[in-house]
Structure 1
Amino acid sequence: MNSSATTLKNWFEQGGQAYARFRPEYPPELAAYLASVAPDRRLAVDVGCGNGQLTKHLAAHFSTVVGLDPSGDQITHAVPQENVSYDSAPAEALPLPGRCASLITAAQAAHWFDLPKFYSEARRVAVPNAILALISYGVLCLGGPLGARFEQFYCHEIGPYWPAERKLVDSGYATLDFPFTELEGPSIAIHLEWCLEEFLGYVSTWSAVRSAKESGREEVLHRFATDLAELWGDRAIRHSITWPINMRIGQL
C-alpha cells in the first residue's frame, strides 16, 4: 500500500460528525418547490431529518420548521436556526398536535419507517390538503475510470452488505405503497465537486460500509480506497459528482 493510501486506511471510521460533514446537500430549489405546492407556509415537519440537510432549507420558506429523528447523535450535529426546532422522535409517533403541519417530508429516510404507522401519523398531523413528500437520491454518477471502479465497488463488493431496504432507495421509492393523490415533481439533481477525502468520507457514512467492517471485511474497503486514490490523481483535485433526486409527492 503506498503512502497516500496508507493515510486513508481509516477513512471509514466515522460517526455522526462525518455524516453531518460529508452527506450531500440538497439543492435549495427542492425546498422551494415543496413550499410552492404546500397549502400554506406555517409549519413544515421533516421526519427522519438526520442532522438537518433538508430541514435547514425548508426554514427559508416556512414560518416554523420541526426536524425529528430517532437518533440523538444526528440531532446533536444539526445547526441551530431561529425558526427551526429539533427533537428525537420516531416517524411512527410524531410529538405534534393534530392538524398542524402544511408540509411533511422524509428525505432519504422513509425506507426505514413502518409506513402504515407513519402514514397514519402524517394524516393525523396534516392540515387539509397538506403535502407529504418522500425524497431520496439515487446512486451517484462519477465519470470515466473512477465511475467504473465505483460501480464495481457499489454493485459487487459492498453490495452484499446493504440492508434489504436499500433496494427501495435505488428504485426511487417507486415500489413503496403510497396511497395518496400523487403529484409529479420537477427534475432536480444534486451536483457537487469533491476531493478524494470528501468522496471517501461520504462513502464512510453508508450502512453497508459499517456492516462490512463489522463482518471483518475491512480489506474490501481498504482496497477500494487504495484503487480510488490511484485513479483520482492529486487528492485535492475536485471531480464532478451527481445524484438524481427522486420524489413521491402526495396530497393528504
Structure 2
Amino acid sequence: MKDNFSGHSGAYSRFRPGYGPELISYLVSLAGQRECAWDCGTGNGQLAVKLADYFEEVYATDLSENQIKNAEQKKNVRYKVENAESTGFSDDRFDLITVAQAIHWFDFAAFYAEVRRTLRKDGVLAVLGYALLRTDESTDRVIRKLYSGILGTYWDPERKYIDELYQTIPFPFREEKTPVFRNEYQWTLEQLCGYLETWSAVRHYIRRNDRNPVAMIYDELKESWEGRETKTVTFPIMLRVGRTD
C-alpha cells in the first residue's frame, strides 16, 4: 500500500470532503449486527467517527502515522497504524468493513484475503469514495486543465480506478445493488484551492518542480468564480457493497 498523504495530513484533515448522513445510515443498515466495524485506510478518521455513533467499537487503521495523529478522537474509535493487507485482527471479528477513498492503493488480493478472514459470516464490505468534483462549466474547465493537462503525467497509475468510478477494481464478492449518493458543499474559492492542494499529483508536481500547480491556475479559477462568495461543489459518490459467500 502506498503512503502519499503523510506529508500533508493536516491539510487533508481540513479540506477533504466527508460523507453525508444518508450514506452513513445506509452503510450502517447493511450490517446484521453492530458490535464491531473496521474502517481501513481511515486517513483522518472522518468515516470512522461517524460509524462510531452506531457501533459498539470501531477500529480505524492507516499506514500513515501522521494521518492517525491528525485524526478526530472518539471514545469507541481505536486507531492503529497498520498495513491494510496484513493486520493483527482475529478471525471473524467485524460486522462491517469500510474502505473510503483508499482501496485503489491496496494490493487487492492480499487485502481481500484479510477481509474474508476478519469478516463475520453475515458481515459486509463497503468500498466507497468520491469522483472528480463538479461545480459549473466555467470552473470545471479550469479544474480539468489542472487535472488532465498540468497534472496528467503526475498521477499515480492507481488513479485510473477513480477515473473509472471503481467499476474496474477486482471485487470477488456477492455484490449488492446500491443507491446513488452525492455530497454537496457551498465552498469559497479558498476552500476549493485547499482541497485541490491535497491531491497526490499536486504533491508529486511540487516535489519535482518546486512550484505549486494550483497557484499556476489560481487567476483563472478566480475569474471563473465571477466574484461570488461561494459556489456549489458536488462530489459524486462511488460505492460498491459485497458479502462473502
What is the TM-score when the length of structure 1 is the normalising length? 0.90
CA drift of 1:219 comes to 6.2
Following the alignment from structure 1 to structure 2, what is the Cα–Cα distance between the partners of residues 180 and 115?
A: 12
Contact 2:197–2:214 at 8 Å: present in 1 too? no
**Runs of at least 5 residues in structure 2 that lack an aligned partner in the other structure:** 1-6
Following the alignment from structure 2 to structure 1, what is the Cα–Cα distance between the partners of residues 233 and 178?
A: 22
1:144 correspondence with 2:140: no
Question: Residue in 2 aligned with 1:8?
Answer: none
- SS at 2:90's partner residue? coil
1:178 correspondence with 2:171: yes
Matches within 5 A, 1:1-252: 15-216=8-209, 218=211, 220-234=213-227, 237-252=229-244
Contact 1:46–1:68 at 8 Å: present in 2 too? yes
**After superposition, what is the alpha-carbon deviation per residue over 1:57-105, rounded to whole angstroms, capped at 9, x for unaligned?**
1112211111100100000111111111111001011221111100001
Question: Residue in 1 aligned with 2:4?
Answer: none
Kindly report the root-mean-square deviation, in angstroms, between the aligned alpha carbons of the 2 structures. Answer: 1.5
Following the alignment from structure 2 to structure 1, what is the Cα–Cα distance between the partners of residues 32 and 110?
A: 24
Give the counterpart letter for 2:232 in structure 1: S
Give the counterpart letter for 2:189 in structure 1: L
Following the alignment from structure 1 to structure 2, what is the Cα–Cα distance between the partners of residues 154 and 184?
A: 30
Give the counterpart letter for 1:159 in structure 2: G
**Runs of at least 5 residues in structure 1 that lack an aligned partner in the other structure:** 1-13
Following the alignment from structure 1 to structure 2, what is the Cα–Cα distance between the partners of residues 221 and 144?
A: 18
Give the counterpart letter for 1:117 in structure 2: A
Contact 2:68–2:81 at 8 Å: present in 1 too? yes
Contact 1:31–1:61 at 8 Å: present in 2 too? no
**Number of matched pairs:** 238
**After superposition, what is the alpha-carbon deviation per residue over 1:181-217, rounded to whole angstroms, capped at 9, x for unaligned?**
0011111111111111111111111110011112216
Give the counterpart letter for 1:182 in structure 2: E
Give the counterpart letter for 2:32 in structure 1: P
Question: Residue in 2 aligned with 1:4?
Answer: none
CA drift of 1:34 comes to 1.1
Give the counterpart letter for 2:222 in structure 1: A
What is the TM-score when the length of structure 2 is the normalising length? 0.93
Contact 1:32–1:61 at 8 Å: present in 2 too? no
Residues 183 and 60 (structure 1), Cα distance of their counterparts in 2 relative to 1, 3 Å cut: same
Residues 35 and 231 (structure 1), Cα distance of their counterparts in 2 relative to 1, 3 Å cut: same
Residues 172 and 73 (structure 1), Cα distance of their counterparts in 2 relative to 1, 3 Å cut: same
